[in-house]
Chain A
Amino acid sequence: MSEPAIEIKDLRVDYGDFVAVNDISLTIPSGVVYGLVGPNGAGKTSTFKVLTTLMEPTYGEVNVAGFDIFESAEEARRVMAYMPDLAPVPSDLKLWEFLDFHADTHRMGRAKARRERVEECLRIVNLYEKRSAWCKELSRGQTQRLVLAKTLLHRPKILILDEPASGLDPLSRREMRIALQALAADGATVVVSSHILSELAEMCSSLCVMNQGELLASGTADEVRRALGRAERNLSVVTFGDSKKVESWLEGRMGVSDLKVDGSRVGFQFLGGEEEQEKLLVELVSAGLKVCAFEEESSSFEEILVRVAKGNREV
């Protein structure tokens, strides 16, 4: 099994009395796009700042690409890249100068080699034509793309991107998603936070949900949905026959509630575990109700996050 890209153990970050990150432990495997999801104030940015060595936590252990970031910060910095939220750029440099400077800090060879890599990265983010423009002249979306180019410069093993899609138009978002997935396919690990949750679900191989500094759930998208969904499962039966018959069969069965018929589909909520769910399907088929599909409609990420955020406000 390959070495995990990031290992976090008992991480805590305090700002005075406020606990931004509360004893979270997390392992992020290599070569995946990993999402960090949570409402504002969940502790995502604080976690990122610790991961990138920008902030010292109250306590905790963090290993990035095998380097203990508190003992070998410089080595860890060499193999990772960070794109902060509302990524800033210097006002006194041109695009290519900004990237060339960062290529130089990573000791990426002589001027010619650096220039080639800078141009390559500018092409990836569609800013090559603007290479001689001043950084301060870029729009918000272009600035985000430029900083993304900066993070790609030294071919990092680990990319940590805080809200990278903010300010991007839909086309740029799609391009960025494809680019990040391609990076992961090449073996890089991409850790990304975003509020555009549907995008994260599409992009990430696995993710975790944070709220008020706590880690609520982690795993694949399905695992997280299940972990954070309600106790009732949203099930639906699609029948070749009469959906009314299915509805009446289901009515009054133990754990079944909230029946809704939509054409050939009968949706309902079911309170029970996987075994009870399996038993229900067997009974449905045994009753001769011509079942052609039996599905679980998991809670959507938006629904989960809205619930989590609402919970915060009620508290």
Chain B
Amino acid sequence: MKGRKKLKPLPAWMIWANPILKRYARSRLRPASLGVALLMTILVAGFFFFLARETTARAIQNPIDVGRIPLIPLLILQGLILFGLGTGQAAAGITTEADEGVIDYQRLAPMTPFAKVLGYLFGLPIREWILFLATIPFTGYSIWKGQVPLNGVLQLYAVFFMAAILYHLTGLVAGSVMKNRRWAFLTSTGLVMFLYLIIPQAAKFGLVYLKYVTIYPVFNEVYPSLIPRPLGDAAEVFNTIIPPAKFFGLNFPQYVFTLISQGVLSLAMVMMLWRRWRKADCHLLGKFTATGLFGWLQMMLLGNALPLMDSGDLFPSRELDRRFGRLINPDIQFWSPKTWEATVMIGIYGLVTLASLWWLTFIISPELHGQVRGWRRARKLGHSKLPVLSDAATSVPWVLTMSVMGAAGWFIFGRTLIESHWYPELSLLVVTPMAMFSILLCGGLGMAALLESVGRKVTGLVVILGGILPVMLGVILAVSSDDSIALAVWLAGICPVSWPVYGSGVFLSEEGMPRDVARAVPNAFWFWQGAGAILTVWLLSKLRSARKRVSNLSKEF
């Protein structure tokens, strides 16, 4: 049948006319509730503003320095409002719509999926944006009185807004997959906390890229101009030895690199939401995009880490030495990294690679229900195979590709680190690349095979019993008695999460480890790797027969 004349939908860029934005402006900015929230915000902002100024006014005579004092407390308050409350509201708001059932009305609204994403992105946390604006007069006054260079302020707030958008998008994604609004709120705000408390610690252990999902890099660069000048000048001196954002051979200003990093992640989130608005039951990411995202993450991890190896800036002890070196050990004249740092950094790199591989495998692996539907559709259309990129198609080739990419990235990281001038006496075992590939392959394919052949619930159970319980038991054993440490190592080794950690110890050195542990780790690692490989082959054969069964089932129309 011939289609009729196409009607023009509302352009997504006309955000001010977006009906979803206007709907939430109406419901979330009612005078009574907004008034209370505004009053509270102004009171808290005013309290910090005056408290900070008045407590320092006696000690600091210069009005410019006094003017700068409230800036950081206000920035923290703004972060709590936009990052914490705003993200929670974005997640809980979308879950509430699904919970009430009204989300179907919005699905039917004749708007483009992108316009819907933007409507929710700016609509759900609209009150938090207004509350943020309410703090601006205090910040503006402090910037004016403190004579803070506008360039730094603009850089900081550009990154601040980009981070808020990224976190709100993350909240929307979390809200679109979670059922309970309270859990959605808590999870998404917890995620922001995780970003600001845990991720920066991981960034200190070689994963420099992770700090660019926060505002820390730009804040560190700008903060000397946000504090009283005598302190700021000292910090400025320190800042001159903080390198710019390095990406392979390129140097970027911190704010530019942060904006690029967060912008690409935001784009990935928008894509997930766009797909969900287009088709409610489709995967968050397509197979090709997920593999591309994995490759991009690897590239970013390597691109930020490799240039910092030779200078030593990648090592956690370097930062400590700079700040407190003489205080910790006045006898040491020249800093050099310890072997354990390389072990830990290689282990953490592998762990993060495995975690991101699992995350993406979880997203792109089809459940049985989806496979049956896909097969039936393919057969109806006269195809003998599923389209490779369809949601119903197996994720195995893509997981394999990601495992190769991950192993390559991990090996490059490890080899460059060990072959740097800091470790002349160390080298990686010949089998290291194969072992790294095996860890990721067994972990990734095992997960994919489980998800595709038995579904998410059974996979969850297997993860609890095989991935969490052994580690918990191992920890209890390890702390209960020194004699049972070796047993604890063996027990925890069942869990694939421990494989990259054990592997990093095996690949180079066990220096610093207790004797029992040093002996148990390699044995446990190789044993469980072998067992993992056999199990993965078995799971893949189970998957093959499960898919054959599904394919045959779909023949019975």
Q: Which residues of A contact B (CB under 8 A)?
A: 3, 7, 10, 12, 14-17, 23, 52-56, 58-59, 63, 65-68, 71-72, 74-75, 77-78, 82, 84, 86, 88-93, 97, 101-102, 104-107, 150
Is B110 a contact partner of A65 (Cβ separation < 8 A)?
no
Is B373 a contact partner of A66 (Cβ separation < 8 A)?
no
Contacts of A90 in B (CB 8 A): 27, 97, 100, 102
Is B372 a contact partner of A16 (Cβ separation < 8 A)?
yes
Closest to B4 in A: A66
Q: Which residues of B contact A (CB under 8 A)?
A: 1-4, 6-7, 9-10, 19-20, 22-23, 26-28, 97, 100-102, 104-112, 279-282, 368-369, 372-373, 376-377, 380-381, 553, 557
Give the shortest distance, in Å, between A48 (CB) and chain B (any CB). Answer: 11
Is A56 a contact partner of B108 (Cβ separation < 8 A)?
no
Is A58 a contact partner of B376 (Cβ separation < 8 A)?
yes
Closest to B22 in A: A104
Provide the bound-state CA to CA distance between A59 and B104, in Å: 21
Partner of B102, one of A14, A56, A65, A88: A88
Is B369 a contact partner of A16 (Cβ separation < 8 A)?
yes
Is B380 a contact partner of A10 (Cβ separation < 8 A)?
yes
Give the shortest distance, in Å, between A176 (CB) and chain B (any CB). Answer: 20
Provide the bound-state CA to CA distance between A86 and B22, in Å: 26
Is B100 a contact partner of A23 (Cβ separation < 8 A)?
no
Is A68 a contact partner of B3 (Cβ separation < 8 A)?
yes
Is A77 a contact partner of B23 (Cβ separation < 8 A)?
no
Is A53 a contact partner of B108 (Cβ separation < 8 A)?
yes
Provide the bound-state CA to CA distance between A12 and B557, in Å: 10
Contacts of A59 in B (CB 8 A): 376-377, 380-381
Partner of A77, one of B2, B110, B381: B110
Contacts of A105 in B (CB 8 A): 19-20, 106, 109-111
Is B100 a contact partner of A104 (Cβ separation < 8 A)?
no
19 contacts between A and B (CB under 8 A): A3-B1, A7-B1, A15-B369, A55-B280, A56-B279, A58-B373, A58-B376, A58-B377, A58-B380, A59-B377, A74-B7, A75-B3, A75-B7, A82-B104, A90-B97, A101-B23, A102-B109, A104-B19, A105-B111
Would A67 and B4 be within 8 Å (CB), given that A77-B108, A101-B19 are in contact? yes
Is B19 a contact partner of A72 (Cβ separation < 8 A)?
no
Partner of A54, one of B28, B97, B107, B111: B107
Is B557 a contact partner of A23 (Cβ separation < 8 A)?
yes
Contacts of A63 in B (CB 8 A): 1
Provide the bound-state CA to CA distance between A290 and B410, in Å: 100
Is B27 a contact partner of A65 (Cβ separation < 8 A)?
no
Provide the bound-state CA to CA distance between A107 and B557, in Å: 43
Is B372 a contact partner of A14 (Cβ separation < 8 A)?
yes
Would A106 and B102 be within 8 Å (CB), given that A56-B279, A75-B7 are in contact? no
Give the shortest distance, in Å, between B49 (CB) and chain A (any CB). Answer: 33
Provide the bound-state CA to CA distance between A71 and B111, in Å: 15
Closest to B103 in A: A88
Is A16 a contact partner of B368 (Cβ separation < 8 A)?
yes
Contacts of B100 in A (CB 8 A): 88-91
Contacts of B372 in A (CB 8 A): 14, 16-17
Contacts of B557 in A (CB 8 A): 23
Is B101 a contact partner of A77 (Cβ separation < 8 A)?
no
Is A74 a contact partner of B280 (Cβ separation < 8 A)?
no
Would A56 and B281 be within 8 Å (CB), given that A16-B368, A97-B26, A105-B109 are in contact? yes
Contacts of A106 in B (CB 8 A): 109-110
Is B104 a contact partner of A54 (Cβ separation < 8 A)?
yes
Provide the bound-state CA to CA distance between A67 and B5, in Å: 9
Provide the bound-state CA to CA distance between A294 and B313, in Å: 102
Provide the bound-state CA to CA distance between A251 and B75, in Å: 98
Would A66 and B110 be within 8 Å (CB), given that A17-B372, A56-B281, A105-B19 are in contact? no
Closest to A76 in B: B110
Closest to A12 in B: B376
Would A71 and B107 be within 8 Å (CB), given that A17-B372, A92-B27 are in contact? no
8 closest A-B pairs by beta carbon, nearest first, are A88-B101, A105-B109, A104-B19, A92-B27, A16-B369, A78-B110, A59-B380, A101-B23
